[in-house]
């Protein structure tokens, strides 16, 4: 602790003169249209000081490290912005100074992302090896690890869920007129209709089904996202689609990977197209000693999977996480959120509600509200 505070004090002393230098140079240049770029050595020292400062405050917390580093860089840039304004907005050093800070921010993000990634989890690494080995087998049903578009009719039970004006979540048909999605989708006003198809951006009106009733889990927590499930009862049965069966607990516990399917954002920032990706499981039930603190999952009720750039994203919420048993894909989880130690919005791994743990609640809730489910 003493060493951390010494480092913190040193960083503040190191950083303060650099910021003061920027302000003083800005005052000197008042009234002039152009000023020379700052000394590259001083820029380097500022970044080194920001790094020391971030490490001193964040310790081993990767996400906090990036936040502090990013804030420090912004502070330096703010000081330079003051100088820019005092020179009448004509300083010629903008381009020269921007690159080092942009590079430093990118390096900080990359470093933090690497520390936060599930690739550091031994279970994840072992299951990734199994997933790769399975993919190499002849006639394997496992797909390329980077994800791809789903084929028409391949996962018709995976539907997009939306409000009256737009689609915003994903869900799974588990009964002729019953869809399971995320609690925060139902609670957030994204549960008035569903679309059965692979392209929600160009929906066939005949395949849009209105929701008769949305029942959010009574113990859903807005802050922790515990019990993140909603049962949707449709006004009529979905024609021509076989509801997905829920996987047995033993089969989920024995799995090393899941297939994620959803309509969420892709790397190209496209929403509404059904995509899939196979990812390794880091924890099937959030049961490791530090899993709840490290990943932000609820012990015994959720699984952790994905990472290393292979992940679900915004709009995939409520969507299915399937496991393969024999030749059948069974519903194991419902997409909930990113892990708490994620640095990137998507790509560092996600948390999935264990559907089998809520089987009794799902069946009872559906039947009590007119749903047809086995």
DSSP line for 65-95: HHHHHHHHHHHHHHHHHHHHHHTTS--S-HH
SS3 for 145?
A: coil
Nearest residue to 241 (alpha-carbon basis) of 171, 328, 175, 191: 175
Q: Which residues of 54-67 are buried (b: 16+ CB within 10 A; e: fewer)?
A: bbbbbeeebbebbb
* Alpha carbon distance 185, 167 (integer Å): 11
Region 118-374: CATH code: 2.40.10.10
- pLDDT for the residue 312: 86
Rounded to the nearest 10 degrees, the angle between the axes of helix 94-116 and helix 62-86 is 170
pLDDT digits (tens, 9 = 90+) for 37-75: 555 566 667 767 777 887 788 776 665 665 676 677 666
- Is pTM beyond 0.75? Reply is no
Which residues, 6+ apart, have CB-to-CB distance to 122 below 8 Å?
A: none
The residue behind tokens 């994204």 is: 190
- pLDDT for the residue 109: 56
Phi and psi angles of residue 360, each rounded to the nearest 5 degrees, phi first: -60, -45
Which residues of the chain register pLDDT less than 70? 1-44, 47, 60-67, 69-70, 73-117, 119, 132, 135-147
- pLDDT for the residue 303: 97
- pLDDT for the residue 158: 98
Domain ranges of the chain: 2-116, 118-374
- pLDDT for the residue 9: 42
Tokens representing 177?
A: 């007129």
- pLDDT for the residue 82: 54
């Amino acid at each position: 602790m003493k060493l951390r505070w010494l480092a913190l004090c040193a960083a503040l002393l190191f950083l303060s003169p650099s910021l003061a230098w920027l302000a003083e140079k800005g005052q000197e240049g008042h009234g002039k249209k152009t000023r020379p770029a700052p000394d590259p050595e001083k820029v380097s020292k500022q970044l080194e000081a920001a790094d020391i400062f971030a490490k001193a405050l964040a310790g081993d917390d990767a996400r906090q490290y990036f936040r502090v580093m990013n804030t420090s860089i912004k502070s330096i840039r703010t000081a330079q912005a003051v100088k820019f304004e005092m020179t009448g907005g004509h300083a010629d050093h903008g381009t020269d100074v921007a690159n080092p800070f942009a590079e430093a921010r990118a390096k900080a993000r990359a470093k933090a992302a690497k520390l936060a990634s599930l690739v550091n989890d031994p279970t994840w690494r072992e299951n990734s090896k199994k997933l790769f080995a399975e993919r190499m087998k002849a006639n394997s049903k496992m797909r390329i690890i980077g994800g791809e578009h789903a084929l028409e009719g391949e996962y018709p039970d995976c539907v997009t869920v939306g409000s009256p004006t737009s689609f915003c979540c994903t869900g799974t048909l588990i009964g002729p007129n019953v869809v399971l999605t995320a609690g925060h989708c139902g609670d957030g006003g994204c549960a008035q209709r569903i679309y059965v198809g692979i392209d929600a951006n160009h929906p066939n009106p005949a395949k849009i089904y209105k929701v008769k009733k949305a029942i959010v889990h009574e113990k859903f927590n807005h802050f922790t996202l515990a019990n993140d499930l909603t049962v949707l009862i449709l006004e009529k049965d979905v024609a021509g689609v076989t509801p997905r069966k829920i996987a047995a607990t033993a089969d989920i516990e024995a799995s090393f990977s899941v297939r994620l399917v959803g309509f969420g954002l892709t790397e190209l920032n496209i929403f509404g197209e059904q995509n899939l990706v196979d990812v390794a499981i880091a924890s099937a039930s959030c049961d490791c000693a530090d899993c709840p603190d490290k990943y932000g999952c609820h012990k015994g009720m959720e699984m952790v999977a994905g990472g290393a750039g292979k992940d679900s994203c915004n709009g995939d919420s409520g969507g299915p996480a399937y496991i393969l048993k024999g030749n059948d894909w069974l519903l194991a989880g419902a997409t909930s959120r990113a892990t708490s130690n994620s640095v990137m919005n998507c790509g560092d791994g996600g948390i999935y509600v264990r559907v089998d743990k809520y089987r009794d609640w799902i069946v009872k809730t559906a039947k009590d509200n007119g749903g047809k489910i086995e």
